[in-house]
Chains A and B, each alone.
Chain A
Amino acid sequence: MPRQAYDQALAIAPDALRAPWTRRARDAVLLILALAALVGMAIDLELAPGALMTGFGKLGRFLGEMVPPSSGGQSVRILKALAETFAMAFAGTVIAAVVALPLGVIGAKTVVANPALHFAFRRFLDIFRGVPALVWALILVSAFGLGPFAGVVALALADIPNLAKLFSEALENSDPKPIEGVRSAGASPLAVMRFGLAPQFAPVATSQTLFFLEGNFRNAGVLGIVGAGGIGFELDERIRIFAFDEVAFIILLYMVAVACLDTLSRALRNRLA
C-alpha cells in the first residue's frame, strides 16, 4: 500500500487498521501474564529440561527396540488376555445399561415432573460422571482381589451415570404423538410403552450403548495396570521388564482389535439409525 494512501486512511479512521494502543497493551500484558503463569506451573511441577532430554533419549531407545514386534512365543496367552479384555468390556457395558435404564427413566423430565427432584437427581449423577474407570478399578481390585471381576464393576460404575444421562435425554426427546396415538386406541400402559415408546427409544439407547462398548473396550485395555485383568496386565508386566518388542506386539494387536470392534459397532449403529 502506498505510504500516502496509508496515512490518509489512518487520518480518517485511526482504529480501522490497527487496534487502539490501549487494547494492544492490554492484550500484550494478558499474554505475558498467561505465559508467566504457565512457566510458574512448570516450575512448581519441577519439570526439568535436563530430565526431558534424558527421557527423550530413553524413549528413542525404547521405540528402537519396538521394531520388529515380537510375540515372545506367548501369542496364545496374549490372545486369551485380549478375549478377557473384551469380556470385561461387554459384561461391564451390559450391566451398566441394565442399571442405567431405570435411573434414566427417573432422570427424565417427562417422567419425574417435579423440577427440584429432577435437578437434584441429575446433579447427583453429574457428581459421579467425571470419575474415570481406572479410579474405580484401583479400589475395587483392593476390595475384590486381582482379576477381571473388579474391572467389570469399574467399567459399569464409570458408565452408569453417563448412560443414565443419555437415556433420560433420549426419553425426553421422544415424540409424544405416537404414545398418545397408542393410548387413544385404548391400549394398556404396557402396550403404550411397547408400541409407543420402545420403537423410538430402543434404537437410540442401543446405539448409545454400543458406543459405550467401544469406549469400554479401550478403557478395559488399561485396567489391567492396577490388576483388574485383561491385556493391560500383560502390557504392564512387559513394560516393567523393558521387553518393548513384545509391548509393541501387544499394542498393535490391541489396536487392530479396537479398530475391528469400532467398525463392527459402527455398522450396527448405522443399521439402527
Chain B
Amino acid sequence: MTTAIETFERDRRRMLIRQRSQAALGLAIFTILLLVSFQRSQFFGSDIGGDPLGRMADFLQRMNPGLKPELLLEDRQTRGSLHSWFYALPIWLRAAWQTVEMAILATALGSVLALGASFLTAQNLMPFAPVRFVVRRILEAIRTLPDLIMALILVAAFGVGPLAGVLTLTISTLGGLGKLFAEINEEIDPRQLEALQAAGAGPLKKIRYGVMPQVLPNYASYALIRLEGNLAGAAALGIVGAGGIGLELQRSITYTEFDTYLAILLIIIAMIFLIDLFSEAVRHRLIGLEKA
C-alpha cells in the first residue's frame, strides 16, 4: 500500500518538475528574446531621446488639429476651423476615389486570373499533375512575397503611378484567391460533372454548366472579402509611389503637417469603413440567394 502511494508521489513530483522546468525554460527563452529585441530595436535607446511613453504623448499632441468650437465653420484662412484642417478635401477625396478604383480594378482582374489558375490547380478538373504542381508553386511564391516589396520593384519598372499599384494588387489577388478558388473547385458535387461527361460535354462546357453554377456565389463572396483587404493595401501602396491616397499621406509627411496626416488618415478610415459596409451587404445578399 505504502509503495503504491510512494510511487504515485514520486511520479507526480517528477511530472511537476518536468512541467515547471519546461515552463521556466520557455519563460527564459521568451525573456531573452524580448530583451534582445528591445535592445536591437532601440526601444529604450537613449540616443533617440529615451522615454518612449512621453514621446508617444508628444506625438499625439502634434496630431491635434487645434479645432476651436466657436470657429468650426469659419473659412480656410482661420486657424481652428474645419475648413483649415481639411484644406484640400476635394483633392484628397479624388485621391481616395482613385484608391478605390485601384482596389476594384485589381480585385476584378485578379479574380479573373485566379479563376483561370484555379481550374489549372484543382485536382478534379486538371488531370495533368505537372501543370497543377507548377501553377500551385507559382501561386505560393506570390503569397509569400510581401505586397510592398513587389510594389517597390514594379514601381521601379512601371514608374510612379497607379499602374504599378494595380499590377501589384492584381498579382497578389491572383495568389490569394487562386488558392481559395481551387479549394472551392475541389469541394464541388462531382455528380453534375459526371452527368455532363456522360452527355459528352467538353472541358469548357463542363466548367460552364457543371462547375460555375455551384461555385460562383462562393467566388463572389471571397472576392468581396479580398476587395476590403485590397483597399487597405492600395492605401498603403501609395506610400511607395503607386498612386492614390497614400501619395497624399506621403506629401503631408514631407511638409511635416501632422494634423493634415490625421485628416487624410480619417478619410482612409471612412473609405475602408464604407467599402466594408458595402461588401458585407452584398455578401449577405449572396448567401441569402444561395439559400433560396
Chain A contact residues, CB within 8 Å of chain B: 38, 41-42, 44-48, 51-52, 55-56, 58-59, 62, 83-84, 86-88, 90-91, 94, 126-128, 130-132, 134-135, 138-140, 142-145, 147-149, 151-153, 218-219, 221-222, 225-226, 229, 232, 235-236, 239-240, 242, 247, 251, 255, 258-259
In Å, the complex CA distance between A86 and B45 comes to: 17
The chain A residue sitting closest to B108, CB to CB, is A38
Additional A-B contacts beyond A142-B253, A149-B41, A218-B146 (19; CB < 8 A): A38-B105, A41-B104, A45-B101, A47-B162, A55-B154, A55-B164, A58-B156, A59-B154, A91-B34, A128-B269, A135-B235, A135-B249, A135-B268, A139-B249, A139-B258, A147-B42, A222-B148, A225-B239, A240-B156
In Å, the complex CA distance between A59 and B157 comes to: 5
- Contacts of A219 on B, CB cut-off 8 Å? 146
Q: Which of B159, B166, B232, B239 touches A130 (beta carbons < 8 Å)?
A: B232
A234 CB, nearest partner CB in chain B, Å = 11
In Å, the complex CA distance between A52 and B161 comes to: 12
Q: Which of B34, B40, B145, B164 touches A84 (beta carbons < 8 Å)?
A: B40
B89 contacts chain A at the CB level, 8 A cutoff = no
Sample of 6 A–B contacts (CB below 8 Å): A51-B159, A58-B157, A87-B36, A91-B41, A135-B246, A138-B253
B150 CB, nearest partner CB in chain A, Å = 10
Q: Which of A130, A139, A148, A236 touches B261 (beta carbons < 8 Å)?
A: A139
Q: Using a CB-CB cutoff of 8 Å, which residues 118-155 of chain B contact chain A?
A: 144-149, 152-154
A255 CB, nearest partner CB in chain B, Å = 5
A87 in contact with B232 (CB, 8 Å): no
In Å, the complex CA distance between A267 and B235 comes to: 34
Q: Which of B40, B63, B144, B258 touches A148 (beta carbons < 8 Å)?
A: B40
B108 in contact with A90 (CB, 8 Å): no
B265 contacts chain A at the CB level, 8 A cutoff = yes
B161 in contact with A46 (CB, 8 Å): yes
A52, A87, A218 — which one has the most chain B CB atoms within 10 A of its CB? Answer: A87
A151 CB, nearest partner CB in chain B, Å = 7
- Contacts of A229 on B, CB cut-off 8 Å? 41
In Å, the complex CA distance between A139 and B58 comes to: 13
Q: With A59-B154, A153-B56 as given contacts, are A135 and B236 in contact (CB-CB < 8 Å)?
A: yes
B98 in contact with A45 (CB, 8 Å): yes
In Å, the complex CA distance between A88 and B153 comes to: 24
**Interface SS of chain A:** helix
The chain B residue sitting closest to A248, CB to CB, is B153
B255 CB, nearest partner CB in chain A, Å = 10
B236 in contact with A55 (CB, 8 Å): no
A162 CB, nearest partner CB in chain B, Å = 12
B272 contacts chain A at the CB level, 8 A cutoff = yes
- Contacts of B272 on A, CB cut-off 8 Å? 130-131
- Contacts of B45 on A, CB cut-off 8 Å? 147, 149
In Å, the complex CA distance between A38 and B43 comes to: 46
Q: With A221-B149, A225-B239, A229-B41 as given contacts, are A149 and B162 in contact (CB-CB < 8 Å)?
A: no
A222 in contact with B40 (CB, 8 Å): no
In Å, the complex CA distance between A84 and B145 comes to: 19
In Å, the complex CA distance between A38 and B110 comes to: 13
A131 in contact with B154 (CB, 8 Å): no
The chain A residue sitting closest to B264, CB to CB, is A135
A62 in contact with B48 (CB, 8 Å): no
A172 CB, nearest partner CB in chain B, Å = 21
Q: With A83-B40, A130-B232, A147-B42 as given contacts, are A255 and B102 in contact (CB-CB < 8 Å)?
A: no
In Å, the complex CA distance between A218 and B145 comes to: 9
B146 in contact with A130 (CB, 8 Å): no
- Contacts of A62 on B, CB cut-off 8 Å? 153, 156-157
- Contacts of A56 on B, CB cut-off 8 Å? 157
In Å, the complex CA distance between A232 and B38 comes to: 19
Q: With A149-B52, A218-B146 as given contacts, are A131 and B265 in contact (CB-CB < 8 Å)?
A: yes
